[in-house]
């Protein structure tokens, strides 16, 4: 490893969270149907998962379908569901062979039974894998996530398992999704929009936010490396001053 690579590897994020946006525009520019963009997006995701595993990033969480995406035309929604199903079937063995743990977050109850079965199978098959913790958010919304946590905690209070005084940030963190992976260090949104679109609201309180105009199907290793290099240059102060951090480094 070169000196620059060693420096970079020290500041590699533990957890990367991505909003994979821009598939539709990618297809439109090529006069292709939107689903062609989504298919190209699956190929991009396959590469990025591989890169994350190689770089020993602990966790990758991607936004594949938001709770708001049901508002899209029915034909696009049903083709997306088909694509989830076929991609899942196609990819799960390779993920498993590479020691990748695959999980899903979101309100999965609404999906067709065969997709739910496929999801449960893939989750079960890879549950003991200790490599990359790969999570796909489908029918996910940050507000849904927090609301569900509220409800679970309310039940625990109602049934006497906990008291109101026991509610604190740590308990909420362990009740929302992704409680068993570190909080995202780096958030990436492709496709040029600078918004969070109801993604991980609680979990990204101190995440570094990276936005790029690159459309998701074009997001390759160079683009990803550019995001990692940008991340490596951030000073994560968590409320402290720059001087305090320097002092702590030299202590």
| Residues of the shown chain interacting with Mg ion in the complex, contacts defined by CB under 5 A | 21
Nearest distance in Å: CB 41, Mg ion: 11
Stretch that binds ligand IPE, among 5-13, 14-22, 113-121, 241-249 (CB under 6 A): 14-22
Helices marked H in 126-241 = 142-158, 169-173, 221-232
Stretch that binds ligand IPE, among 15-23, 94-102, 107-115, 228-236 (CB under 6 A): 15-23
Hey, which residues between 80 and 99 contact ligand IPE (CB under 6 A)?
80
Q: Which of 66, 139, 203, 207 binds ligand IPE (CB under 6 A)?
A: 66
Window 141-180: contact mask with ligand IPE (x via CB under 6 A): ----------------------------------------
In this structure, the chain runs to a length of 251
Helices marked H in 69-215 = 74-97, 113-125, 142-158, 169-173
Q: Which of 13, 15, 16, 22 binds ligand IPE (CB under 6 A)?
A: 22
Stretch that binds ligand IPE, among 9-17, 21-29, 43-51, 147-155 (CB under 6 A): 21-29
Q: How far is CA 71 from CA 23, 67, 107, 118, in A?
A: 17, 9, 16, 24
User: Residue with CB nearest Mg ion?
Assistant: 21
* 35 contacts 29 by C-beta, under 8 angstroms: no
Backbone CA torsion sign across 36, 225, 55, 19: negative
CB atoms within 10 A of CB 182: 13
Is 198 part of the annotated catalytic residue set?
no
Q: Provide the β-strand partners of residue 18.
A: 62, 188
Cα(first)–Cα(last) distance of the chain, in Å? 27
* 135 contacts 62 by C-beta, under 8 angstroms: yes
Hey, which residues between 193 and 222 contact ligand IPE (CB under 6 A)?
193, 195, 197
Q: Provide the β-strand partners of residue 138.
A: 65
Is 165 part of the annotated catalytic residue set?
no
Nearest distance in Å: CB 33, ligand IPE: 11
Measured from the CB atom, the residue of 8 and 17 that comes closer to ligand IPE is 17
* 231 contacts 210 by C-beta, under 8 angstroms: yes
Q: Kindly list the residues in this chain that would bind ligand IPE in the complex (CB under 6 A).
A: 19-25, 63-66, 68-69, 80, 191, 193, 195, 197
Show which residues are catalytic: 21, 69
């Amino acid at each position: 490893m070169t000196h620059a690579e060693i420096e970079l590897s020290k500041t590699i994020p533990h957890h990367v969270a991505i909003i994979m946006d821009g598939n539709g525009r990618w297809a439109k520019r090529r006069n292709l149907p939107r689903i062609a963009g989504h298919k190209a997006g699956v190929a991009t995701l396959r590469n990025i998962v591989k890169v994350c595993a190689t770089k020993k990033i602990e966790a990758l969480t991607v936004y594949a379908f938001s709770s708001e995406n049901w508002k899209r035309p029915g034909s696009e929604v049903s083709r997306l569901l088909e694509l989830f199903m076929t991609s899942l079937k196609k990819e799960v063995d390779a993920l498993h062979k590479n020691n990748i743990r695959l999980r899903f977050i979101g309100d999965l109850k609404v999906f067709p039974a065969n997709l739910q079965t496929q999801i449960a199978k893939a989750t079960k098959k890879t549950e003991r894998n200790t490599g990359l913790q790969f999570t796909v958010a489908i029918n996910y919304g940050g507000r849904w996530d927090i609301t569900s946590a509220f409800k679970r905690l309310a039940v625990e209070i109602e049934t006497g398992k906990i008291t109101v005084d026991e509610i604190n940030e740590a308990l909420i963190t362990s009740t929302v999704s992704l409680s068993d992976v570190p909080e995202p260090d780096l958030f990436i949104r492709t496709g040029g929009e600078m918004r969070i679109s109801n993604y991980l609201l609680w979990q990204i309180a101190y995440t570094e936010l990276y936005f790029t105009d690159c459309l998701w199907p074009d997001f390759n290793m160079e683009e990803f490396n550019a995001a990692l290099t940008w991340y490596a240059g951030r000073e994560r102060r968590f409320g402290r001053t720059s001087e305090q951090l320097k002092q702590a480094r030299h202590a």
